């Protein structure tokens, strides 16, 4: 009799669901009025909590889609196979110094809207922490001081939420990326 490893089956199932939800997410970033299905909202919340690679893929798809180095195929390779980590790291660190990346905030605004929809859709409070952390990063990225509010909310839910802690430290220290226009 063959035994089934429920944890790996669950992880594989979530990975399959994430693949479809991530495609819907990426499509939504190009729409004037993006709307995720209820299933995708829940899947993305679960996925961001289960894998930092999935969370970071969502963040990069919004914040860095304007970068000349942005490559959706590499982003998917990172999300699904943890490939191209060096590319992603180089792009993220270089982006903090690039003033031109914040010029078009349309995609970030769409992403923030979809992420708030995700937060509202999930009943499990713990699943709200990572979407809130990504919102806080994107707001910080755009120079919006409300980043602190969503970061604090994420940390209130999960005190070990490192992305939110980074944003809190940056805002508290008045450190903003070059892309942020501070009015």
pLDDT of 100-123, one tens digit each?
A: 766 678 999 999 999 999 999 999
- Alpha-carbon distance of 143 to 63, in angstroms, equals 12
Confidence of residue 1 (pLDDT cuts 50, 70, 90): very low
pLDDT score recorded for residue 81:
81
Q: Which of 178, 182, 181 is nearest to 93 (CA)?
A: 178
Q: Tell me the C-alpha distance between 84 and 121, whole Å.
A: 31
- Evaluate if residue 125 carries a pLDDT over 70: yes
Q: What is the pLDDT of residue 3?
A: 44
pLDDT tens digit string along 50-90? 999 999 999 999 988 888 888 888 988 888 887 788 888 88
Report helix, strand or coil for 145: coil
What pLDDT was estimated at residue 179? 77
Q: Which of 43, 9, 8, 10 is nearest to 25 (CA)?
A: 43
pTM of the model: 0.88
| Most distant CA atoms of the chain, gap in Å | 66
**CA angle, 53 as apex, 50 and 40 as ends, to 5°?**
60
CA nearest to 39, candidates 23, 51, 55: 23
Cα separation, 170 vs 176, whole angstroms: 7
pLDDT above 80 for 8 = no
């Amino acid at each position: 009799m063959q035994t089934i490893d429920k944890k790996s089956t669950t992880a594989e199932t979530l990975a399959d669901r994430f693949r479809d939800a991530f495609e819907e997410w990426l499509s939504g970033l190009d729409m004037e009025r993006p709307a995720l299905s209820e299933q995708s909202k829940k899947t993305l919340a679960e996925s961001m909590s289960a894998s930092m690679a999935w969370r970071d893929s969502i963040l990069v798809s919004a914040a860095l889609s304007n970068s000349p180095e942005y490559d959706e195929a590499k982003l998917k390779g990172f999300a699904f196979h943890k490939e191209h980590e060096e590319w992603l790291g180089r792009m993220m660190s270089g982006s903090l110094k690039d003033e031109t990346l914040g010029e078009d905030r349309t995609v970030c605004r769409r992403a923030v809207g979809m992420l708030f929809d995700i937060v509202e859709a999930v009943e499990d409070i713990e699943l709200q922490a990572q979407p809130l952390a990504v919102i806080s990063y994107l707001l910080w990225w755009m120079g919006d001081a409300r980043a602190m509010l969503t970061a604090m909310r994420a940390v209130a839910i999960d005190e070990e939420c490192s992305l939110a802690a980074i944003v809190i430290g940056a805002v508290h220290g008045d450190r903003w990326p070059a892309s942020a226009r501070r009015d």
